[in-house]
Chains A and B, each alone.
Chain A
Amino acid sequence: EDQVTQSPEALRLQEGESSSLNCSYTVSGLRGLFWYRQDPGKGPEFLFTLYSAGEEKEKERLKATLTKKESFLHITAPKPEDSATYLCAVHNTDKLIFGTGTRLQVFP
C-alpha cells in the first residue's frame, strides 16, 4: 500500500537553530514529491516539487532534497515566521498522498 510518513510530528527550535524534516515514502510509480507549508486556518502553500532522486531545490532558508525512499526539508537559521505545519505529498499514478505533517515552532 502506498504510504507517506513524516517525522518528527512536532519540532521546537530556537531562532537560528538549523534542522531537517523527514518525509519517507513507499509508492508505486512515483511521479513527483511536493512540499507544502500550512499556516493555521489557511490552505497549504506550495514550496517545492522534486521529480527524481538526487534533485535539490532551494528557496530562502529552505532546501528540499530527494532520494529513492525519502525527502528532507532542511531549514537553515530559521526565524519565528517559519513556524507552520510542513506537509509532504507524493503523486503516484492516480492520486496525491499526503503525510500527516511536521508542526514546526521557532522561538525567538
Chain B
Amino acid sequence: KAGVTQTPRYLIKTRGQQVTLSCSPISGHRSVSWYQQTPGQGLQFLFEYFSETQRNKGNFPGRFSGRQFSNSRSEMNVSTLELGDSALYLCASSLQGLHYEQYFGPGTRLTVT
C-alpha cells in the first residue's frame, strides 16, 4: 500500500510571498493532519481535516490555512511568509483521527529568504 506523499519536497520562497503544499494520504484514510517541525520548537500541530472539514486546530496564526478535498487529499497554505516560517512541514494521515496512529509523509522543506 502506497504511503503518504508530499509535494514539493523542497521549496525556497521570499519573505512576503505565499506558498501551497500538497499531501496525498494513504488510500482509505479520511483524516489528514499537518505539522511544523523546527530545531527550536520541535514538532507542532497545525490542524486536522476529516471528511473535508477542519476538525482541530493548533495555536498558529491565521496565515496558516488548509483544506481537504473529497478524495482526502489536502493542501496547506501559508500567506505572507516570514523568515520564521522556515521549517519542515509534515503531513500525516490516519483512519479516523488524532486518537489513531498517524502515518507521516517525508515532509516539505520550506526555506524563506
Asked if A and B bind, the verdict is yes
List A residues at the B interface (Cβ < 8 Å): 31-32, 34, 36, 41-46, 49, 87, 89, 91, 94-101
Alpha-carbon distance between A97 and B35 when the two chains are bound, in angstroms = 10
Summarize B's interface: helix, strand, loop or mixed: strand
User: Ordered nearest first, which 9 A-B pairs have the shortest CB separation?
Assistant: A43-B104, A98-B43, A100-B42, A46-B101, A94-B56, A95-B45, A96-B45, A44-B104, A91-B98
Chain B residues closer than 8 Å to A101, beta-carbon distance: 42
| 22 A-B pairs with C-beta separation under 8 A | A31-B98, A32-B99, A34-B101, A36-B102, A41-B106, A42-B106, A43-B92, A43-B105, A44-B92, A44-B102, A44-B104, A46-B101, A46-B103, A49-B101, A89-B43, A94-B57, A96-B35, A97-B45, A98-B42, A98-B43, A98-B44, A98-B45
Residues of A within 8 A of B28 (CB): none
Q: Does B25 sit at the interface, judged by CB under 8 A?
A: no
Instruction: Considering the complex, give the chain A residue whose CB is closest to the CB of B100.
Output: A49
Shortest Cβ distance from residue A59 to the other chain B in the assembled complex, whole angstroms = 12
Residues of B within 8 Å of A96, CB to CB, are: 33, 35, 45, 98, 102
Expressed in whole angstroms, the minimum distance between the Cβ of B39 and any Cβ of chain A is 10
Shortest distance from the beta carbon of A90 to any chain B beta carbon, whole Å: 10
Q: Give chain A nearest CB distance to B54 CB in angstroms.
A: 11
Cβ–Cβ contact A43 & B106, under 8 A: yes
User: In the assembled complex, which residues on chain A have CB atoms less than 8 Å from the CB atom of B101?
Assistant: 34, 46, 49
Residue numbers of B with Cβ under 8 A of A are: 4, 33, 35, 42-45, 56-58, 90, 92, 98-107
**Distance between A99 CB and nearest chain B CB, rounded to angstroms:** 7
Complex-state Cα separation, A31 to B56, whole angstroms = 14
Residue in A closest to B109 when the chains form the complex, CB atoms: A41
Question: Would B43 and A87 count as touching, CB distance under 8 A?
Answer: yes
Cα distance A42–B104 in the bound complex, in angstroms: 9
Q: How far is the CA of A100 from the CA of B90 in the complex (A)?
A: 15
Least Cβ distance of B7 to chain A in Å?
A: 14
| List of B residues within 8 angstroms of A49 by Cβ | 100-101
